[in-house]
Amino acid sequence: MAKLNIVQAINLGLDQEMAKDDSVVVLGEDVGVDGGVFRVTDGLHAKYGEERVIDTPLAESGIIGTSIGMALAGLRPVAEMQFSGFSYHIFHQLEGHASRLRQRSLGQRTVPLVVRMPFGGGVRALEHHSESREATYAHLPGVKVVIPSSPRNARALIVAAIRDPDPVIFMEPKHVYRAFREEVPETEEVMEIGRSEIVQEGSDLTLVAWGAMMRPALRAAVEVQNARKVSIEVIDLLTIAPMDSHTIVESVQKTGRCVIVQEAPKTLGIASEIIARINDHVLLYLEAPVNRVTNYDVVTPYFGRELDFTPDAGRIQREIETTLDF
């Protein structure tokens, strides 16, 4: 069992699935010889050759449009968008085809496609390298969206995504790509898509986060627990769509209070949907408004100002306290 970071863990998952199933192919810009700009596909080109690890021309719609064709013809393409900020070119192929072909053909045609994309801020890169737009994809029926938060669940989710019969948007929180290591077993681990995880049990407040926000969220939870006699239940969303309302709703029913941490802008983010589901199912259990700690509805700032906008542990802590004190 090796201690891996998220980049290595995804790489391991890809490698193992490729070894097992030669219908799995990897494609994208610079994923081959270069091993991907973040090195997630490092070594795969050397190991599996250029027919299976394909350096494509620079055209995202082309990458996903052809991946859809490959998937229709029985391959299991794992396409990389170099950054989620360049994934919008594929929206019509996702909305118009990947998400629809199953229903269009009443199950006769399927698109087992994985679209990997690093997303979110924190790497001091150029414009378009720091958005968090999972909600844009999660609003599309027929598309699954998953976001790992640690090396171990990243490996287990990429394997699940590859084996999944549907298009899966696999969003990689690049801020924590190399932030920490975790033991990742060599042997197979698959995590069910469509399930959230309670990473810490508690009874006074439910704290929901995903991706890179898990770390400041957990830090904030610890701070609050150190400062007051409360216990906080922390949920890692993991699957964004189709969402696991059940786990959240049950937790809020127990705690009566909820804070949601979201790196994306406020309006129409995942947090809004979570609030709507809490409203649907357990409104009467709420002892305070659900509190969403989010980015602001401004155009994603360049990195010089980025950190002033991103939710951090301090702000999360304050909002947890506000919610507890409500």
Partner 1 sequence: MPRTQVERFSVSHMQILDDDGNADPELEPKLTKEQLLEIYRLMFLARKQDQRMLKLQRQGRIGTFGPCTGQEASSIGPAYALGDSDWLVTAFRDLGARLVRKEPLINSLLFHNGFEEGNVVPDEAPNVLPISIIVGSQALHATGIAYAMKYRGEKAAALTFFGDGASSQGDVYEAMNFAGVWKAPVVFICQNNQWAISMPRSKQTRAVTLAQKAIAAGIPGLQVDGNDVLATYAATKEALARAYAGEGPTMIEALTYRLMMHTTADDPRRYRNEDEEKAAWEKDPIPRFRKYIERKGIWDAKKQAALEEEIKGEVDATVKEFESRKDFQPEILFDHVFGTKHAEIEEQRAQFLENLKLKSAKAE
Q: Which does 228 bind (CB under 5 to 8 A by kind): ligand TPP, partner 1, a second copy, none?
A: none
Q: Which of 20, 187, 150, 161 is nearest to 78 (CA)?
A: 161
CA 172/CA 300 separation, integer angstroms: 18
| Residue nearer to ligand TPP on the CB measure, 2 or 58 | 58
Q: Which does 203 bind (CB under 5 to 8 A by kind): ligand TPP, a second copy, partner 1, none?
A: none
- Pick out residues in 145-164 that bind partner 1 (CB under 8 A): 164
| Residue nearer to partner 1 on the CB measure, 184 or 320 | 320
Q: Which does 49 bind (CB under 5 to 8 A by kind): ligand TPP, partner 1, a second copy, none?
A: none
CA 274/CA 293 separation, integer angstroms: 13
283: enclosing H helix or E strand: none
Residues 124, 276, 307, 314: which binds a second copy (CB under 8 A)? 276
The 10 Å Cβ neighbour count of residue 65 is 17
| Residue nearer to ligand TPP on the CB measure, 28 or 311 | 28
Q: Which of 165, 154, 113 is nearest to 12 (CA)?
A: 154
Active-site residue list: 129
Contacts of 172 (CB under 8 A, 6+ apart): 6, 10, 38, 40, 116, 117, 118, 119, 147, 148, 154
Q: Which does 201 bind (CB under 5 to 8 A by kind): partner 1, ligand TPP, a second copy, none?
A: none
The one-letter amino acid code at 38 reads: F
Q: Contact letters (x/-) for a second copy, 222-261, by CB under 8 A?
A: -------------------xxx------------------
Counting contacts by CB under 8 A, is residue 91 touching partner 1? no
Q: How far is the CB of 241 from a second copy (least distance, A)?
A: 7
73: enclosing H helix or E strand: none
Counting contacts by CB under 8 A, is residue 285 touching partner 1? no
CA 94/CA 135 separation, integer angstroms: 14
Enumerate binding residues for ligand TPP (CB under 6 A).
Answer: 29, 58, 60, 82, 86
